[in-house]
């Protein structure tokens, strides 16, 4: 296999990591919404953890994008 083809395959596989970030955000916000509807009084205390989870999940998605771009163009 040529190295260029291997780089394209690796970049595609690394870009698939962004699918996990999208699914993770959907699960995260869906579960938070369910919990907030069940117990609105506790929703405000859980909001900082929601934002922390969102930031970490997005960071992993951005990391996957950077790796894919590095494999493609470097």
For 66, residues 6+ apart whose C-beta sits below 8 A from its C-beta are none
Q: What is the pTM of this model?
A: 0.76
Predicted local confidence at residue 14, as pLDDT: 86
Predicted local confidence at residue 15, as pLDDT: 85
- Write the CATH number for 22: 1.20.20.10
pLDDT at 3 over 90: no
How far apart, in Å, are the Cα atoms of 48 and each of 2, 4, 21, 54, 71? 48, 44, 19, 10, 35
What is the span of the domain harbouring residue 65?
3-73
Q: How many domains does the chain have?
A: 1
Tens digits of per-residue pLDDT, 8-56? 888 888 888 888 888 989 999 999 999 999 999 998 999 999 999 999 9
């Amino acid at each position: 296999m040529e190295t260029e083809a291997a780089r394209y395959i690796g970049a595609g596989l690394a870009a698939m990591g962004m699918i996990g970030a999208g699914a993770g955000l959907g699960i995260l916000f869906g579960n938070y919404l369910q919990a907030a509807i069940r117990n609105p009084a506790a929703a405000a205390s859980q909001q900082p953890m929601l934002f922390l989870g969102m930031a970490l999940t997005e960071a992993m998605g951005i990391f996957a994008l950077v790796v894919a771009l590095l494999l493609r163009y470097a």
